């Protein structure tokens, strides 16, 4: 297996993000039994879909590469490109590939997926799994969708795994000022509300490690519903589809949004003339 094209992009906040995912990572940890079952279900789901085979797979916010490896296995892809801001996790992708019994060419890219069209070349399949859209506001989403559409081949497919947070968090649960996020054998991870950004529509939360109340970092979250993502995606793709994964028997997966037929000319035009109303 060859390792090539390792592109480094240093961006503010990466270190605190690495710290956060040091504790909130069971869903992508190769040694975790739940993550292994999740991996198997990803392969199973991908095999039920009509997807390009023997092509090039792009895994965005890849983490340890669990989704990219599953998609590569299911479609017998020849190339897997993994993009994430966290370098250490990217290097663990070989564990999933070994588990799957496959040896594609693999490229690791450390960078910001909002500029994905500047980081990678053409691919046939792209995935953004792990409920990661919460890290991106609507302006980010436009750049991500446009960037992915501009890099996919004519018959390319983009898939996002996410949950409807407007319904689940803001309605079913209710927004919490203080929330215990996860518990480990020797620690508890908790978050506290710190504010709201009206330009971005994001909630700021600070994360603390207990006991000791050591601050891990501050993060801005956008609570997406699924229809908004489908609507933005429809601008840049000819077809959109929503799969309720749990109802289809894939209990360890969230809902999956599928976008087919990239409208590359529209995507490239938007990328050439797009800006945000706030300082980045």
pLDDT at 58: 98
**Cis peptide bond prior to 136, omega within 30° of 0:** no
Residue 238's CB is within 10 A of a number of other CB atoms, namely: 10
Contacts for 71 with CB less than 8 Å, ≥ 6 apart:
42, 46, 51, 57, 59, 77, 125, 127
Separation between Cα atoms, residue 210 and residue 194, nearest integer Å: 18
Residue 42 lies in a domain: yes
Helices 33-48 + 66-75 axis angle, to 10: 40
Q: How many domains does the chain have?
A: 2
Specify the pLDDT at position 11: 34
Report if residue 278 sits inside a domain: no
Looking at the fold, whether 215 and 229 belong to one and the same domain comes out as no
Three-class secondary structure of residue 162 per DSSP: strand
- Structure-block tokens of residue 55: 């092509």
Q: Are residues 119 and 251 in the same domain?
A: yes
pLDDT in tens, the chain (280 residues): 333 333 333 233 443 666 665 655 565 788 899 999 999 999 999 999 999 999 999 999 999 999 999 999 999 999 999 999 888 889 899 999 999 999 999 999 999 999 999 999 999 999 999 999 999 999 999 999 999 999 999 999 999 999 999 999 889 999 999 999 888 878 899 999 999 999 999 999 999 989 999 898 899 999 999 999 999 999 999 999 999 999 999 999 999 999 999 999 999 999 999 999 888 7
Same domain, residue pair 116 and 235: yes
- Alpha carbons 125 and 148: distance in angstroms, whole number: 10
Domain presence at residue 279: no
Query: Can you give the residue range of the structural domain that contains 187?
Result: 167-219
In a domain, 280, yes or no: no
Element (H, E) at 42: helix 33-48
Asked whether the beta carbons of 229 and 162 are under 8 A apart, the reply is: yes
List, in sequence order, every residue forming a beta bridge with 259; answer none if it has no partner: 158, 240
Same domain flag for 21 and 124: yes
User: Does one domain contain both 55 and 137?
Assistant: yes
Residue 79 and residue 52 in contact, taking contact as beta carbons nearer than 8 Å: no
The CATH number for 109's domain is: 3.40.50.150
């Amino acid at each position: 297996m060859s390792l090539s094209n390792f592109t480094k992009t240093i961006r503010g906040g990466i270190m605190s993000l690495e710290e956060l995912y040091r504790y909130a990572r069971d869903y992508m940890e190769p040694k975790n039994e739940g993550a292994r079952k999740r991996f198997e279900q990803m392969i199973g789901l991908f095999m039920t879909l009509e997807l390009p085979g023997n092509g090039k797979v792009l895994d965005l916010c890849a983490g340890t590469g669990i989704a990219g490896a599953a998609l590569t296995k299911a479609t017998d892809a020849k190339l897997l490109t993994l993009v994430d801001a966290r370098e250490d996790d990217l290097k663990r992708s070989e564990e999933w590939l070994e588990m799957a019994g496959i040896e594609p060419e693999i490229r690791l890219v450390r960078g910001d997926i909002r500029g994905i069209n500047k980081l990678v070349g053409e691919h046939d399949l792209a995935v953004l799994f792990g409920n990661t859209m919460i890290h991106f506001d609507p302006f980010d989403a436009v750049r991500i969708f446009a960037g992915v559409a501009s890099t996919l081949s004519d018959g390319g497919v983009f898939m996002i795994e996410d949950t409807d947070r407007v319904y689940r968090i803001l309605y079913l649960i209710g927004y919490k000022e203080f929330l215990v996020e996860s518990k480990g054998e020797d620690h508890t991870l908790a978050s506290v509300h710190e504010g709201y950004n009206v330009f971005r529509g994001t909630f700021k939360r600070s994360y603390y490690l207990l006991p000791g109340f050591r601050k891990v970092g501050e993060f801005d979250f956008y609570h997406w519903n699924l229809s908004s993502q489908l609507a933005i995606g429809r601008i840049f793709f000819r077809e959109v589809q929503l799969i309720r994964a749990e109802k289809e028997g894939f209990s360890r997966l969230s809902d999956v949004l599928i976008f087919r037929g990239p409208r590359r000319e529209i995507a490239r035009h938007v990328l050439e003339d797009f800006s945000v109303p706030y300082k980045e």
